[in-house]
Amino acid sequence: MKAQNDSTDPQHIYRQLKLGLGHELVTDANVFELIALAQKDGHQLLETELREWQAPCSDSNDGPRPTMAPTRGFNKDNVKH
């Protein structure tokens, strides 16, 4: 039987998260399985934190990705000229 690396084992990561550790081990590849484990275990706070973690966020340093369609500019559509 081949041993799995603990850093990629969702059960190990989940146990670490319950202890307040291992946040750096959460990835796009395992977040949904971790959410399912938290939900099954009844750990609502951890489930919520993981759902927030997987929510769309920035890949860059210039802030979060916009969640609404771009406009022509602040109030330009509604101001009277």
AA letter at 73? G
Per-residue pLDDT for 47 more than 80? yes
Nearest to 14, CA basis, from 56, 47, 52: 47
Angle between helices 44-54 and 31-41 (to 10 degrees): 160
> Which pair of tokens denotes residue 78?
């509604």
**pTM, to two decimals:** 0.63
Token pair 């670490």: residue: 16
Per-residue pLDDT for 54 more than 60? yes
Phi, psi of 3 (to 5 degrees): -80, 135
Mean pLDDT of all residues in the chain? 78
